[in-house]
């Protein structure tokens, strides 16, 4: 058999692989690959845990947001009810106050009217009495004057009784 270059390539090939096996290179490569596989599995497990934790945090945040939104809606509804009630209450107070002021003004007007009528009647009576006195004092006949005075006095008393009642 002739030793040619193919033989030497085959021999060098076996020597190379034999050296690799002798130096335990495939085991080292296998260990490195296993270590990388374990590291990748650990990273995947850790990322799964982080994803689970993130999902839990997201769910908690969503629940808090939903709760906050419902509470804010309740607060807004309560505030609206309170404001409506307050508006109605203030409106009622305003109407009651204006009614009281109106009644008070009407009462004052009636009282002022009655006082004015009374003053006018009193002034009329004074003028009438003064006029009667002047007529009586200027009249010459005393007997006529006494009868006229008595008659006018009686009429005045009757008028005063009618006015006061």
- Domain ranges for the chain, please list them: 9-164
pLDDT at site 59 = 94
The CA distance from 55 to 29, in Å, is 38
Is the model's pLDDT at 81 over the cut of 90? yes
Q: Does 158 score more than 90 pLDDT?
A: no
**The token pair that represents 97 in the structure block:** 């106050």
Determine the 3-state secondary structure of 36 from DSSP.
helix
Query: Taking a C-beta distance cutoff of 8 angstroms, is the pair 41, 35 a contact?
Result: no
Helices (H) and strands (E) in the chain, counts: 3, 0
Q: Are 114 and 105 in contact (CB under 8 A)?
A: no
Residues 126 and 163 sit within 8 Å (Cβ to Cβ): no
Asked if residue 145 lies in contact with residue 157, where contact means CB atoms within 8 angstroms, the answer is no
In this prediction, residue 120 has a pLDDT band, given cuts at 50, 70 and 90, of confident
Q: How far is CA 82 from the centre of its chain?
A: 6
Q: What is the pTM of this model?
A: 0.42
């Amino acid at each position: 058999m002739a030793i040619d270059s193919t033989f030497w390539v085959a021999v060098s090939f076996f020597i190379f692989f034999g050296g690799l096996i002798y130096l335990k290179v495939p085991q080292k490569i296998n260990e490195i690959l296993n270590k990388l596989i374990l590291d990748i599995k650990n990273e995947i497990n850790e990322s799964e845990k982080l994803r689970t934790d993130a999902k839990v945090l997201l769910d908690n945040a969503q629940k808090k947001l939903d709760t906050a939104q419902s509470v804010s809606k309740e607060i807004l509804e309560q505030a609206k009810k309170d404001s409506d009630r307050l508006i109605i209450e203030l409106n009622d107070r305003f109407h009651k106050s204006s009614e009281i002021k109106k009644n008070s003004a009407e009462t004052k007007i009636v009282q002022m009217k009655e006082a004015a009528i009374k003053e006018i009647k009193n002034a009329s009576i004074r003028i009438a009495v003064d006029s009667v006195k002047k007529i009586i004092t200027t009249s010459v006949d005393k007997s006529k004057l006494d009868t006229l005075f008595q008659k006018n006095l009686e009429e005045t008393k009757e008028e005063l009784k009618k006015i006061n009642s």
